[in-house]
Structure 1
Amino acid sequence: MKRLFAILFALFCTMPLFCQDREVDSLLRVLDASVQGRERYTLERQSQINALQCQLKATRSDAELLEIYQELFGKYSAYRMDSALWAANRCVEVAQRMSVASHLYSARMRVAEVMIGTGMYKEGLEILEDIPQEELGAIDMFYYYNLYHKVYTLMASYAFSEELQASYSRLAYQYKDSILRVKRPDSQGYQLTLGDKLLYEGKYDEAIGVLEGCYDIHSQKDFSLAIPSVALASVYGAKGDHKQEKKYLTISAIADVQSGTKEYISLWKLANLLYGEGDIERAYTYMECSMQDATFCNARYRTMEISGMLPVINSTYEAKLHEEKEQLVTLFIWISILAAVLLVALVYIYHQMKRLSLARKTMDDMNKELKHINGDLQELNARLQESNRVKEEYIGYVLNMCSVYIDKQEEFRKMLARKVKAGQLDDLVKTIHSTTFVTGELKEFFHTFDSVFLKLYPKFVNDFNNLLQENERIYPKEGELLTPELRVFALIRLGISDSGKIATFLHYSSQTVYNYRLKVRSKSFLSKEDFLNMVQKIG
């Protein structure tokens, strides 16, 4: 019982992990499809840019131009850095014409963002230092602090010495606090920055709580999940929960690819994670996609990050391909050998099948012949049974008739003897010349024959009439069993087809029998041969 409880407890504990693995596998399949079809997402983003470019031609006022250039900058940002720089410079030109300081500061910060994004940290910092911090509004102040935070974070990542790295990290951390001071606590920027700060401080669970709230808000409002997902992935990675890290990196990568973004972090980080798990093919595909997009975007620092890992994954991928190729060659050789063996087996089986087919054909022919013989035997047996039955009936009838006839002859002899003894010679002569006796005997003979025949074939009259046209059917009169015509065909049914024999048996003339046969056949709707065959099958 304890063992059973232990097994059930283990299953209960591993069920969430199993479901989580299935969820991540499903997300990875979505990402695979997105990476494969990323050209479509790029075209969608480019079509949005083209639509804004068309609006520029119809715009006259600087306010409208500035708004469109700002939108273009947003579309080009993280897509094409050179085009983003062009849009930022146009914003500067329009802002200078408008002579609005806030617009000009915002435009210059856009230029600084491009400088930082392309790895030109010095130029970006120079632009930011020329912007008077005290003249910025709340929104621009957040942007300003965020750029400082970004540049110092990147400089810490690529610092040559540990001292410089620690120095830049401290500066980045200070700007986290600056951002939190200017943002509302319920805003996305505040929550993301707070989560990053808690991560830096090692407060992972608190960071996860903050970032999950931000993630849920984005999910409910149908915003892009790329930024909160990659932030959550960073916390889970620092905590050592690589399954959750992989899940949120995958979600972030899907959002990046499907939005047409070219400058991102999630996909190549996911490639590194998958490489560590041994999923070389996916890691190579994702890393190659990341490099192509970073090159397209002209994001130099992303290219540097990716180029450090790409050769390792590439060499491993090529080694795997080489190994698979060798396995494929070996498998091909074995398949060839098996195919040859199979071919020989098929030829042998083919010849055996031909022999078997020939034997089956011979057996079928023999079975058909046996069935035919069996059918003939059954038919012959049925005829013999019927013949035996007819013989039994008529032998009994003949014997009985003979006995009765002997008795009648004896009675007739005694009657003649009495007339002779009594001297009644005239009566004797009349009796001898009278046909009454013969007529009566013949009538009784027909009645007995009809009775015996209908006992053998009780449905003969109905079955025979079914062979005739409806208005030509023959029925016996009251007191009769068979008519003369029916009696002729009754003898044919018994196997006596010769008209002369039928005439002798029935005491008719041959012409009378012929006329009966011809007359009745003319009443049938069947041919002569079919009619006679059907008569012989009655009963």
Structure 2
Amino acid sequence: MNKILLVIFFLLGSLHVRSQNKRSDSLLAVLKSELTREQAYDHAKEERINRLRIRLFHTENTDGARQYELCSKIFEEYRYFRFDSAFVYVKKMIAIAGQFHKEGELIRSKLLLIGILSNSGFYKEAFEITGAININELSDSLRTDYLILRARLNAGIAEYENDAHLAPDYRRQSERDFRDAEQVTPSNAFEQTIDLAFLPERAAHPELTPDYFYDAIIKQPLSQHGIAMVATRVSYAYTGQDRVLFLALAAIHDIRSSTKETQATFLLGRELFEQHRTEDAYVFMQEAVRSARFYGARNRTVQIETILPLVAGKLINDKQHERDKLLIGLLLFLIVAVVLFFLLVIYRRQFLRIKADEQLIKEKNKQLEHLNEKLWESSRIKEELIGLVLKTCSSYIETLDKIKHQTLHSIKLGKYKDASQFLNTIQIDEQKGQLYSMLDSVFLTMFPNFIASFNALLKKEDQIWPKSGETLNATLRIFALIRLGINEQEAIAKILDYSVSTVYTYKTRVKSRALVPANDFEQRIMEIEFTDGSYFG
């Protein structure tokens, strides 16, 4: 059971840390955005001051109350904005109060003077004025203000001196003055709520979370500067991201109220520096030193300038380290890029070689396919021609057999005249015509587009077409035999019963009129497509 509770507490703690980190980072983003609008806030404040100064200029010198009121308002505008201007107007307030014998206003003005002298590091002058005031003659309200001012003055000296021997005495005196002020004027409910953040036993009260105090500050009807002061005070009760949360809140409202006399931005930069967030720390430290110089806070300027070089040095080291890492990364990237480039070159070469081999294989396959087609075509032509020869031979054998029997029969009977007459009835030319007609029919069955394809190679006026009733004429028949693969002129001459010179003349005459070169004509004839329309099928 105890282990389960520990796990639950651990998980809740982790969730709280992540929530606080997210909230503080969100406020830091808002703060950076507000820094870009700082000049606008300052310009608005200066316009308010100018309007008040014009009203003061037109106020009668005899109207002391009105003069004091306007000087007080101008002082309040300058109080945390510019020390030298605030000093001028608080001195005017003291002079007016003394001139018109306003004792309460005089003491109040001197207390205001102590406050700005303390803020600007004029501790000696502030102590002189503090020592000249008789605390016993003050009202409870002024006595409380006096004690709080003296407490802050001693705390400021202790922080500025930061000495092991003298600083503790200043801190003890500061604590006594705060206690005395509490006794004179007890804290109100809101102040008591804020004091709970500093309870030693705060851990025993789980409801007293940073969110509790954050919400309490935001919901309280405070001025911009008031929110910044309370948030800065609460930040001392926390560390880490919780402290960043309150300091960022304080810095945001200091910018919005044009407060230059501020610790929040400096403390935020220092806290971020301790968290090794150097870049953000440097940005806020720069803002803090600009504000301190603008206000005229010598003590704060010195304090910041002792730390700022450390932050800047760390930032430079971090940037150098990042540049080194970037250079190393870039170098590794270049090495990888070079290796990948060479691998890509090698791959490309291999790829191109493979593509070339594939192309060569495709070409070889096409050649093989073409060769196979030619072989198949040649085989089919031979089959057709063999069929034609067998059929023709069979017919002639049958005819010769009839002639033999008829002739022998007539000779046996002694009818020699009848035998002679029978032999004279056999027409060789007619038999040749039948043979050529059969050859033409077989050829045109295998090459039905031959005549059209042949004439496409000739000019229109030179084209050769069969006459009516013809299948092929002598010229077409010569080139038909060439398409069948019979290239020798002697073989063509024997088949067609022509002389070799006649075959040569026919061929030469056609080639000379062709639309293609004479040397390519027979090749184009061989390209006429074969159709497997089997004559004997």
TM-score category of the 2 structures, normalised to the smaller one: 0.5 to 0.7
1:50-104 Cα deviation digits (max 9, x unpaired): 5457657976744999999777655544332113334556778999999999999
| Unmatched 5+ stretches in structure 2 | 61-65, 159-168, 531-537
Q: Give the alignment of 1:240-255 within 5 angstroms.
A: 242-255=240-253
Counterpart-to-counterpart distance in 1, 2:107 and 2:475: 131
Q: Per the alignment, do residues 206 and 13 of structure 1 end up closer, same or farther by CA in structure 2, a change over 3 Å counting?
A: closer
Contact 1:268–1:287 at 8 Å: present in 2 too?
yes
Residue 114 (structure 1) aligned to one of 104, 113, 116: 116
Q: Per the alignment, do residues 433 and 355 of structure 1 end up closer, same or farther by CA in structure 2, a change over 3 Å counting?
A: closer
Q: Per the alignment, do residues 287 and 53 of structure 1 end up closer, same or farther by CA in structure 2, a change over 3 Å counting?
A: closer
Q: Give the alignment of 1:53-72 within 5 angstroms.
A: 61-62=58-59
Q: Per the alignment, do residues 215 and 168 of structure 1 end up closer, same or farther by CA in structure 2, a change over 3 Å counting?
A: closer
Q: Does 1:166 align with 2:175?
A: yes
1:155-188 Cα deviation digits (max 9, x unpaired): 352463465233211233246637x4xxxxxxxx
Contact 1:274–1:283 at 8 Å: present in 2 too?
yes
Residue 411 (structure 1) aligned to one of 402, 407, 422: 402
Counterpart-to-counterpart distance in 1, 2:68 and 2:373: 112
Q: Does 1:442 align with 2:432?
A: no
RMSD: 6.3
Counterpart-to-counterpart distance in 2, 1:412 and 1:156: 157
Structure 2 counterpart SS, 1:432: coil
Structure 2 counterpart SS, 1:263: coil
Counterpart-to-counterpart distance in 1, 2:353 and 2:283: 64
Counterpart-to-counterpart distance in 2, 1:530 and 1:3: 102
The residue number in structure 1 matching 2:263 is: 265
Counterpart-to-counterpart distance in 1, 2:512 and 2:28: 95
Counterpart-to-counterpart distance in 1, 2:489 and 2:99: 135
Q: Per the alignment, do residues 389 and 438 of structure 1 end up closer, same or farther by CA in structure 2, a change over 3 Å counting?
A: closer
The residue number in structure 2 matching 1:187 is: none
Counterpart-to-counterpart distance in 2, 1:328 and 1:237: 33
Q: Per the alignment, do residues 58 and 150 of structure 1 end up closer, same or farther by CA in structure 2, a change over 3 Å counting?
A: same
How far does residue 235 in structure 1 lie from its aligned partner after superposition? 3.8
Counterpart-to-counterpart distance in 1, 2:522 and 2:71: 106
Counterpart-to-counterpart distance in 1, 2:396 and 2:407: 16
Q: Per the alignment, do residues 264 and 469 of structure 1 end up closer, same or farther by CA in structure 2, a change over 3 Å counting?
A: farther
How far does residue 26 in structure 1 lie from its aligned partner after superposition? 5.4
How far does residue 297 in structure 1 lie from its aligned partner after superposition? 1.5
Contact 2:217–2:227 at 8 Å: present in 1 too?
yes
Contact 2:154–2:170 at 8 Å: present in 1 too?
no
Give the alignment's TM-score, normalised by structure 2: 0.62
Q: Which moved more, 1:90-99 or 1:311-320?
A: 90-99
Counterpart-to-counterpart distance in 2, 1:223 and 1:268: 21
The residue number in structure 2 matching 1:21 is: 21
Residue 82 (structure 2) aligned to one of 74, 80, 88: 80
Give the alignment's TM-score, normalised by structure 1: 0.62
Residue 40 (structure 2) aligned to one of 44, 64, 69: 44
Contact 1:153–1:168 at 8 Å: present in 2 too?
yes
Counterpart-to-counterpart distance in 2, 1:538 and 1:411: 41
What amino acid sits opposite 2:20 in the alignment?
Answer: Q
Number of residue equivalences: 488
| Unmatched 5+ stretches in structure 1 | 135-140, 181-189
Higher RCO (CA 8 Å, separation ≥ 6 residues): 2
Contact 2:282–2:315 at 8 Å: present in 1 too?
no
Contact 2:273–2:281 at 8 Å: present in 1 too?
yes
Residue 398 (structure 1) aligned to one of 385, 389, 395: 389
1:330-349 Cα deviation digits (max 9, x unpaired): x89x97xx99xx89xx89x9
Q: Which moved more, 1:117-126 or 1:316-325?
A: 316-325
How far does residue 249 in structure 1 lie from its aligned partner after superposition? 1.8
Counterpart-to-counterpart distance in 2, 1:97 and 1:354: 95
1:229-259 Cα deviation digits (max 9, x unpaired): 6635644653x56432222223333444576
Q: Give the alignment of 1:227-242 within 5 angstroms.
A: 227-228=226-227, 231-232=230-231, 234-235=233-234, 237-238=236-237, 242=240
Q: Per the alignment, do residues 483 and 194 of structure 1 end up closer, same or farther by CA in structure 2, a change over 3 Å counting?
A: farther
What amino acid sits opposite 2:399 in the alignment?
Answer: K
Counterpart-to-counterpart distance in 1, 2:266 and 2:227: 17
Q: Does 1:298 align with 2:277?
A: no
